[in-house]
Amino acid sequence: MTTTEEAARPGHATDRPRPRIDGIDLARFLAIVGMMTAHLWVSDAFEITEPSSLLNPGAWAAVFDGRSAALFGLLAGVSVAIVSRRPLTLGGAEVPRLRLNLMTRGVVIAGIGVVLEELQYAIAVVLTVYGFVFIALALLVRQGPRRLFALAAGSMVLGTLSVLVADLVPTSVWEPNGVIVRVFVGGMYPVFIWIGYGLVGMAVMRLGLHDPVVQRRVTATGASMALVAYALGAVVSRTWTHVSLPGIEEFASGEPQPAVTDLGMVELAAPVSDWQFILLSPDAHSGGVLDLMGSLGVALAVLGMCLLACRNERVLRLTAPMRAAGAMPLTIYILHVLTAAVVAKLFFWQKTEFMELLMTSVTTAGPEHEQAMELLMAWMVETTLAKWALLAASIIAFPVLASLWRRRHAKGPAEELLSRAVAKVTADSPPPNWQR
């Protein structure tokens, strides 16, 4: 497998140059593109006429939803396994220094995630949980593949159970503002589930992921897991029905919806789902067993295929801009969130008017309902097209900009600032006495 050298400043083992693994950079880029697609490939304007058709682009976006974030989490573990190889070989003070480095990195990344969440509301930011994943993995850098797989399974089971508890127990029981539930228990990215993804990433890297035989096995295993999970998921979805928020097609029917408050938010007349569906749900971000199995399977298959593909020189040449973007994922992700926030700001300034139109469309009939629906549809089309344009521009522009940047710099701007911040903290602090 072809690799390229990544420059780094001399110093401790965690600071020295490491070879870049091209397939991993390509997988990182695909993970980011998948998340951008899940965030921006919206289709509200199509839900009215084609709610369950292949003509509805929302059906295409669902392919990326949840699975790309799982790949991002898996690659976090792969990265930890790569950077820990030399310190573990050297031993001594290098191991606690490595742990301090990873924990500091995790705290800074989580802090960036909190800032991005406060700056915008359009995207559920993964970086907060991603930072906690680094902190958790730092404590387990000495573990071998077999134990890492076992810990990953336990972490994912704990994550599914925490999602179940969070769904059944009111948030107010946990705390008034729900931060613990959102970050550690429920939310879009339950931390125990993403720690599990990271542990699997560490384990597969330590199986010898440079070996093409291992790459093929990882690809085949992932594809098999995904196939089984989503086949069973189709059965589960037909067996158990669960209550969900009324879709836009219900709003478009003209029938008054009694469960709408004066704030325009939909209230459920029954629990969102029963415990059986939560445990086995195949839906993205549900935390169900089949969701985790399918998402992890897709992530493993994509990682394996990227590694195998990058053994070909022609593929390397064709994917060079993509790999350049994948080599600076933090920078690209931050740019994605900020540009999406700008578009949301430009088009969601009409949010008050939108909610008024939504209320009118739901609670009225006749000409008033039809007029509100026409305005609502126009607003949705305008917003959808703006997000599609941003998605296309991002997929084209980010690899080009990353290629130009990496001609002069070894790291992306955010990655360089992160490395300097971590280096300053670890240089000023003696390594803690963590020898186990």
- 230-250 burial, b for 16+ CB within 10 Å, e for fewer? bebbeebbeeeebeeebebee
**Contact yes or no for 219/304 (Cβ under 8 A):** yes
Residue that has been written with the tokens 């097609």 in this structure = 249
Half-sphere exposure (CA, 13 Å, Cβ side) for 125? 25
Residue that has been written with the tokens 């550690």 in this structure = 184
Instruction: Residue 44: name the closest of 354, 262, 311 by CA.
Output: 354
Q: What is the pLDDT of residues 162-171, one digit of tens each?
A: 887 777 766 5
Where residue 250 falls among pLDDT bands split at 50, 70, 90?
very low
Q: What pLDDT is stored for residue 352 in this prediction?
A: 57
Kindly state the tokens that stand for 339: 């540009």
Report, in angstroms and rounded to the nearest whole number, the Rg of the chain calculated over CA atoms.
Answer: 23
Instruction: Give, as one character, the DSSP assignment of residue 416.
Output: H
Q: What pLDDT is stored for residue 414 in this prediction?
A: 94
CB atoms within 10 A of CB 28: 26
CB atoms within 10 A of CB 320: 17
Q: What pLDDT is stored for residue 400 in this prediction?
A: 96
Where residue 297 falls among pLDDT bands split at 50, 70, 90?
very high
* Cα 309 from Cα 13, distance rounded (Å): 30
Q: What pLDDT is stored for residue 192 in this prediction?
A: 92
Where residue 334 falls among pLDDT bands split at 50, 70, 90?
very high
Q: What is the pLDDT of residues 362-410, one digit of tens each?
A: 666 667 667 767 777 777 777 788 888 999 999 999 999 999 999 999 8
Angle at 30 between CA 192 and CA 155, to 5 degrees: 10
Q: What is the CA 163 to chain-centroid distance, rounded?
A: 17
* Cα 433 from Cα 436, distance rounded (Å): 9
pTM of the model: 0.80
* Cα 146 from Cα 144, distance rounded (Å): 6
Give the containing element (helix H, strand E) for 20.
Answer: strand 18-21
85-to-37, 207, 404 alpha-carbon distances in Å: 34, 13, 30
* Cα 294 from Cα 292, distance rounded (Å): 5
Where residue 265 falls among pLDDT bands split at 50, 70, 90?
very low
Instruction: Residue 164: name the closest of 290, 288, 284, 267 by CA.
Output: 288
Residue 133 has pLDDT above 80, yes or no: yes
250-to-48, 257, 346 alpha-carbon distances in Å: 8, 8, 28
CB atoms within 10 A of CB 108: 19
* Cα 290 from Cα 278, distance rounded (Å): 10
